[in-house]
Amino acid sequence: MDEKEKLFNSGILTGERKGAIKPPKELWETKKNGLVVIECPQRIPCNPCHTSCPTGAVKPFEDINDQPQIDYEKCTGCARCVAVCPGLACFVIDLTWGAEDKALIKLAYEMLPTPEEGQVVDCLNRFGEPVAKGKVVKITEPMKDKTLVVHVEIPKDLVMDIRAIRVV
Amino acid sequence: MRETEVLVVGGGPAGLSAAIEAASFGAKVTLMDSDLALGGQLIKQTHKFFGSKNERAGTRGFKIAEELFKELKEREENIETFTNCTVTGYYKEDGVVSCVKGEDEYFHVKPKKIVMATGAQERIIPFPNNHLPGVYGAGAVQTLMNVYGVVPGERVLMVGAGNIGLIVSYQLMQAGVKVVGIVEAMNKIGGYWVHAAKVRRLGVPIYLRHTVKEAIGDRFVEGAVIQEIDEKFQPTGNEKKLDVDIICLAVGLTPTCELLWQAGCKMSFVPQLCGYVAQRDKNMRTSHPDIWVAGDAAGIEEASSAMVEGRIAGLGVVKALGYGAPEEIQGRLEEYHMRLADLRGGEVGAKIREGIALCSVESWEV
């Protein structure tokens, strides 16, 4: 087993896979409010990303075990799936946000302490290593179930690295 | 002697579902649980469930328990509930069940039908000093934290990267406890990949092909030594000492089936279902014509499947008792069977499907 596969087997995404692919570049760069990035590469019996999607962007599942498939044209970046996904595997990334070198990530947060809007937090990669500082722009609780959706301004070149925050 | 139509043993997700389903057709149900409160493991589950809308996917486990309690309450004229009440024996000769409520109230019940939803027990692995205070089962850690609001310690080594190990690690972090690492004997995590990703991105290392070698400490856990193992599970000599005060074992569960043995149900050892389980027909009836089984007692699986199995067993019982319109019961059964097939449909369900095939019979009729 090579090093990449070993990492994947311990929960680290290594490159694109079925159920964990990047949105198409052109649409992504121009879509205001961002597009969903789902990292759900294993077939498991679960479909709330589809059933909660208000626009049908997460396509219907033929089999509940299927990995999610996305119609990016329909995605509005609303982040409802971010709030609902039991695996915390949905993110919304808005490349049109802010200055040229910035982007916005909307991610689920269920830890303490809760961040505050305007606060600067550590942005962590898939290993949990701090790789940048990010400013919390907005916090919502879409399902009123204690899962927060935190909007964080991050460096644009790290949008495929940053997947968590730590409030410091 | 107390009599009842349906005795449900165990008030976890399977037992609650069986009781609700049976009572909804008018059967008189007695529900017993050895714990102080109903809900079984559900009340400790602060994470959101997987599955589909039917299994309340996206809802936290303890919220699902609350919804089941509501359903139970709506049928309270047909359900009598006993908590802190352990079913201690089944007497084959006359079908009488012995029970102990609290510490000294001993009584008998004679049910017409029984659903055994007794759940599971945690496994323990042997290693030097595993008797020290600070070595916990993952279920105990969850009970302390999520039921009683007590953190078990400050720094944890989690043993096992199945769903329980991964989820409890995440919950420990939510409680402010440092998870120093997770060791897993296999070369890949056993739980859902997304659960592993969730703890990895918060900085928790997962050591594949590793196990705990020993606990360090005199009177309580003051550290742990982990070691690498090869594909034959033999140590490679590569060791690492971790500064922890808790060693949490999430190394699997085994079905609780003593009452099924006592009742003389035909049992099979099915590794895929994690131990001895009762042979059953499609509607969860055992070889004993008056006994059904559901949930982890029928084979270790997810709570979502346990709830559907409980419903199926409940329907099986009311059908046998002659309640309800046969076509309505049949319709519901078919729907539940479809849901179960969906839940077990994917790769992660393959093991369960194999296991169930090994202990299923077409029909008990001769």
Q: What pLDDT is attached to residue A2?
A: 86
- Is it the case that residue A1 has pLDDT exceeding 80? no
Architecture of domain B2-121+253-359: 3-Layer(bba) Sandwich (3.50)
Smallest Cα distance from B30 to chain A, Å: 33
Q: Measured between alpha carbons, how far is residue A46 from residues A13, B52, B169, B281, B346 in Å?
A: 19, 6, 21, 27, 10
- B172 close contact with A: CB closer than 8 A: no
For B227-286, the pLDDT digits (tens) are 999 999 999 999 999 999 999 999 999 999 999 999 999 999 999 999 999 999 999 999
In this structure, what DSSP letter does residue A114 have?
A: P
Average pLDDT of chain A, as a whole number: 96
Distance CA B111, CA B99 (A): 12
Pick one of 2.40.50.100, 3.30.710.10, 3.50.50.60, 1.10.510.10 as the CATH number of B124-249: 3.50.50.60
- A40 close contact with B: CB closer than 8 A: yes
Of B47, B51, B184, the CB nearest to A46: B51
For A111-160, the pLDDT digits (tens) are 999 999 999 999 999 999 999 999 999 999 999 999 999 999 999 999 99
Residues B161 and B182: beta-carbon distance below 8 Å: yes
Q: What is the ipTM of this complex?
A: 0.97
Peptide bond into A48 cis (omega under 30): no
For B90-129, the pLDDT digits (tens) are 999 999 999 999 999 999 999 999 999 999 999 999 999 9
For B50-86, the pLDDT digits (tens) are 988 888 889 999 999 999 999 999 999 999 999 999 9
Q: What pLDDT is attached to residue B366?
A: 57
Residues B272 and B292: beta-carbon distance below 8 Å: no
Confidence of residue A72 (pLDDT cuts 50, 70, 90): very high
Q: Do domains B2-121+253-359 and B124-249 have the same CATH topology?
A: yes
Distance CA A82, CA A147 (A): 9
In this structure, what DSSP letter does residue A6 have?
A: H
> Domain residues of chain B, as ranges?
2-121+253-359, 124-249
Task: Please compute the mean of the pLDDT values over residues A42-66 and round it to a whole number.
Answer: 95
Smallest Cα distance from B252 to chain A, Å: 18
Of A1, A10, A43, the CB nearest to B200: A10
For B205-221, the pLDDT digits (tens) are 999 999 999 999 999 99
Backbone angles phi, psi at B76, to 5 degrees: -65, -25
For B140-190, the pLDDT digits (tens) are 999 999 999 999 999 999 999 999 999 999 999 999 999 999 999 999 999
| B104: its two tokens | 């000294």
Which residues sit opposite B240 in a β-bridge?
B226
| A21: its two tokens | 């692919």
Backbone angles phi, psi at B148, to 5 degrees: -105, -5
Residues of B in contact with A39 (CB under 8 A): 194, 197
Q: Measured between alpha carbons, how far is residue A10 from residues A127, B248, B300 in Å?
A: 10, 19, 23
Residues of A (86-105) whose Cβ lies below 8 Å from B: 86-89
Confidence of residue A77 (pLDDT cuts 50, 70, 90): very high
